[in-house]
């Protein structure tokens, strides 16, 4: 098993990113699972921690199967997996209905997690997008495009584990890609962790509170 838990993955990614210590940076986590991973990177680089809010657009009768992804980035960024949409025979009206539901969940999470928090501006700085792993790559691609729209000087994707084929597709979305483990035969992200427990909202908020600017 490559990783004990998300803390182990975060420490190891932080070590891989230490070459960027001293650079002005913002670390972006995909909630919920990416937040404890990203916290170790932000701490090691002495960088602010923020969120990039992304939701998978799941096939209605098989929600774990991504027919796309939605990211909160001013105008919403929508990634479509056309092969899945066609294979699942999902109509455009159904796709848009699922999008609307996930957009509402993004809004709920923005209010819950971020509220009135001051958010760092990554323009002209290094932006590091972090998750606890990549599955199909749809949500990751949406997150990268949302952060890219904020005009960082350089965009890095840092993940502990991913399918090899998904990484190949993501390289064109980022300036640098750091992945500790990749596999051609993948399955699910949780297979690569001894402890892959659910992260709840309270834990996300508590981690963000640790990185809140001191008045």
Domains and CATH numbers, the chain: 6-53+120-210 (3.40.50.2020), 55-113 (3.30.1310)
Q: How confident is the model at residue 187 (pLDDT cuts 50, 70, 90)?
A: confident
> pLDDT digit string (tens) for 127-171?
999 999 998 898 999 999 999 999 999 999 999 999 999 999 999
Alpha-carbon distances, residue 59 vs 65, 74, 117, 121, 188 (angstroms):
6, 25, 33, 35, 17
Q: Chain-wide mean pLDDT for the chain? A: 94
Model-level pTM?
0.93
Which of 56, 61, 57 shows the shortest CA–CA distance to 89?
61
Placement of tokens 């796709």 in the chain: 95
Which secondary structure element, helix H or strand E, spans residue 80, and what is its range? strand 77-80
> pLDDT digit string (tens) for 14-30?
999 999 999 999 999 99
Percent composition of the chain: helix, strand, coil (DSSP 3-state, to 5): 40, 25, 35
Q: How confident is the model at residue 214 (pLDDT cuts 50, 70, 90)?
A: low
pLDDT at 34: 97
Q: How confident is the model at residue 76 (pLDDT cuts 50, 70, 90)?
A: confident
């Amino acid at each position: 098993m490559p990783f004990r838990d998300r803390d182990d993955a975060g420490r190891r990614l932080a070590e891989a990113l230490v070459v960027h210590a001293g650079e002005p940076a913002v670390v972006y986590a995909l909630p919920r699972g990416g937040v404890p991973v990203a916290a170790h990177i932000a701490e090691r680089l002495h960088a602010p921690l923020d969120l990039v809010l992304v939701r998978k657009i799941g096939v209605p009768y098989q929600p774990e199967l991504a027919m796309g992804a939605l990211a909160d980035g001013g105008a919403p960024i929508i990634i479509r997996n056309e092969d899945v949409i066609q294979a699942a025979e999902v109509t455009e009206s159904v796709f848009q209905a699922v999008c609307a539901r996930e957009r509402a969940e993004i809004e709920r999470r923005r209010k819950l997690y971020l509220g009135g928090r001051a958010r760092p501006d990554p323009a002209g700085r290094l932006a590091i997008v972090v998750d606890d792993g990549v599955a199909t790559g749809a949500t990751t691609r949406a997150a990268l495009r949302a952060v890219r729209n904020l005009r960082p000087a350089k965009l890095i994707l840092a993940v502990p584990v991913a399918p090899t084929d998904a990484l190949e597709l993501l390289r064109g979305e980022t300036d640098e890609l750091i992945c500790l483990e990749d596999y051609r035969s993948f399955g699910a992200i949780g297979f690569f962790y001894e402890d892959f427990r659910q992260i709840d909202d309270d834990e996300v908020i508590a981690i963000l509170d640790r990185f809140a600017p001191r008045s």
